[in-house]
Structure 1
Amino acid sequence: MPVQLTPIDRAKYAAARRAVDLVEDGMKVGLGTGSTAAWMVRALAERVRDEGLRLTCVPTSVRTGDLGRELGLKIVSLEEAGWLDLTIDGTDEFDADLTLIKGGGGAHLMEKIVATASDRMVVITDASKEVKTLGHFPLPVEVIPFGWQASRMLIEELLNAMDVMGTSARLRMNGERPFVTDQGNHILDLALGRIGNPRQLSLALNQVPGVVENGLFIDICDAVVIGYGDGRVEMRDIASGTVEHERIVFEEPDNIFKDL
């Protein structure tokens, strides 16, 4: 039965297909987490099957690692791989400077470590994630379980001195229990509305006792690939200042998405 994709899913797939064209034989590649990154993992596995690419892949979450293994990718830890050539990941928001908010899937700690251990980070997304000013999407902050309430109070107090619109920090839940990251931590989602100075906020948050890492990615992303539902893709490289436009030709859904 053909799989009927929404325009957003087609946009994500188009961006993923373009991004995996950047992968070359012999590379060590970081694999992001989330719905858009899942399209990328599938597209990358398709290239490995069809072209015989020899890749070493480092996942940013348990679920991405499980998907990669299921699709036949060589999955190793970052410790085993060492330095990476390229990381491809999604984002929850991005601005003109390619500053990101990540962590909607609860994996921003591993995502940030893997991205910064790479020569290059490329973000894949659809056009709806682009914003003039970050902050509409809640900013995730990973905290250790011990004393998380105290960490939350300190964060909310800190936010009063920051250039933001909101100051509430809510514990992320998974049903009736707190959400637990792959590292065994909790996440506080900050409803900020607007982040006027992401760099200042990131530095301040990471000074709060109990905070492990926040979801602001600053000076980490090198390029963004934006997909559209009709197959168009736009690739912006912040280092070179170039913008490229292409169109991805979709195969028959029965062939591309038969394993979904």
Structure 2
Amino acid sequence: MSNPVEEGKRLAAYRAVDEYIKPEHKVIGIGSGSTVVYVVQRILERPELKHLVYIPTSFQSKLLIIEGGLTLGSVEQYPVIDVTIDGADEVDSQLNAIKGGGACQFQEKVVAEAAKKFVIVADYRKKSKILGTQWLKGVPIEVVPLTYQSVINSLLNKLSLQPQEVALRMAVNKAGPVVTDNGNFVIDAHFGPIEDPASLLKEIKLLTGVYEVGLFCNMAEVAFFGEADGSVDVLKA
């Protein structure tokens, strides 16, 4: 693999699986994104992990589980998960994360919160000291469709954003907005550097119409970052 970023993702994912998924576990959460492809790849290379139940966070991870011939489960069936491994769009030095670039933040958060251990895998480009300094597309906010304009107004008036800092996410290959797996819309809101992600999360969550926010605070136990030189940097909470 000549691409150092992809090699870094692969090494981080393999190490996360090897260190955190054990044959004695019962239920594993599988996140979304490009790095998670390597997580499933590593699971399939380890026959002793084939008997576990795997819970997806998105259509993408559901397909990876089914196509790999693994046992598919749901949070309704298994409300307690041993370990969830997921990617992230940005991770700060306290292991707070921005997620939802792929518009799956609600399912990702449900599966992460159900887990006894939440593990992040990413490449070095996702690592920052303060959220909002590397991922510049904004914090993803999933909203009930009929409230999207009122939520935008609240972000402008109550959270003091400028009009150019708030956008309804539009679909790429169809006319109109991105629609999540829950039938909702996504607003991307640019707050600049986020000094206190947990407080911001609470403020946004309280806005009527907000379904979920792509800020994951005080949840991850460890993050594995694939470095450009092929090494893996491990940060613990």
Q: TM-score, normalised by structure 2?
A: 0.91
Q: Which amino acid aligns with 1:184?
A: G
Is the alpha carbon distance of 1:55 and 1:166 closer, same or farther for their aligned partners in structure 2, counting shifts above 3 Å? farther
94, 100, 106: which one aligns with 1:103 = 100
Gaps of 5+ in 2: none
Distance in 1, matches of 2:5 and 2:163, equals 29
Q: Does the Cα contact within 8 Å between 1:156 and 1:167 map onto a contact in 2?
A: no
Identity of aligned residues (%): 36
Q: Which amino acid aligns with 2:91?
A: F
Q: Which amino acid aligns with 2:148?
A: W
Distance in 2, matches of 1:42 and 1:62, equals 17
Is the alpha carbon distance of 1:159 and 1:26 closer, same or farther for their aligned partners in structure 2, counting shifts above 3 Å? same
Over aligned residue pairs, what C-alpha RMSD do you find?
Answer: 1.7
Query: Superposed, which structure 2 residues align to 1:15-34 within 5 Å?
Result: 15-21=12-18, 22-27=20-25, 28-34=27-33
Query: Superposed, which structure 2 residues align to 1:110-125 within 5 Å?
Result: 110-125=107-122
Q: Which runs of 4+ in 1 moved over 3 A?
A: 164-167
Once the two structures are TM-superposed, the CA of residue 6 in structure 1 deviates from its matched residue by: 1.5
SS of 2:71's equivalent in the other structure is coil
Q: Which amino acid aligns with 2:230?
A: G
Query: Superposed, which structure 2 residues align to 1:75-224 within 5 Å?
Result: 75-136=72-133, 137=135, 138-160=138-160, 168-175=165-172, 176-224=175-223
Q: Does the Cα contact within 8 Å between 1:170 and 1:189 map onto a contact in 2?
A: yes
Distance in 2, matches of 1:134 and 1:5, equals 30
Q: Which amino acid aligns with 1:13?
A: R
Q: TM-score, normalised by structure 1?
A: 0.84
Once the two structures are TM-superposed, the CA of residue 47 in structure 1 deviates from its matched residue by: 1.6
Deviations 1:172-223 (A, max 9, x none): 1113221011111110001222112211110010000100111111110110
Gaps of 5+ in 1: 239-260
Is the alpha carbon distance of 1:56 and 1:149 closer, same or farther for their aligned partners in structure 2, counting shifts above 3 Å? same
Q: Which amino acid aligns with 2:142?
A: E
Q: Does the Cα contact within 8 Å between 2:156 and 2:163 map onto a contact in 1?
A: no
Deviations 1:92-119 (A, max 9, x none): 1111110111111111111111101010
Once the two structures are TM-superposed, the CA of residue 147 in structure 1 deviates from its matched residue by: 2.3
Distance in 1, matches of 2:107 and 2:44, equals 21
SS of 2:206's equivalent in the other structure is coil
Q: Which amino acid aligns with 2:21?
A: V
Distance in 2, matches of 1:88 and 1:17, equals 11
Q: Which has the larger radius of gyration?
A: 1
Q: Which amino acid aligns with 1:207?
A: L
Is the alpha carbon distance of 1:52 and 1:139 closer, same or farther for their aligned partners in structure 2, counting shifts above 3 Å? closer
Q: Does the Cα contact within 8 Å between 2:80 and 2:114 map onto a contact in 1?
A: yes
Q: Does the Cα contact within 8 Å between 1:87 and 1:120 map onto a contact in 2?
A: yes
